Amino acid sequence: MSFLFNKNSHFNLANIVTFFNITAGIFAIYFLTHGDFFAAALFAWMAGAFDIIIKRKYKIHLFLLFRIIQFI
Q: Residues 57-72: pLDDT tens digits?
A: 766 665 655 666 666 5
How far is CA 71 from each of CA 14, 41, 45, 62, 64, rounded to the nearest angstrom? 19, 27, 25, 15, 11
pLDDT for position 71: 61
Residue partners of 65: CB distance under 8 A and separation at least 6: 18, 21
pLDDT single digits (tens) 30-57: 999 999 999 999 998 888 887 777 777 7
pTM beyond 0.95, yes or no? no
Length of the chain as a residue count: 72
Provide the phi-psi class of 35: left if phi over 0, else alpha when psi is between -120 and 50, else beta. Answer: left
pLDDT for position 27: 94
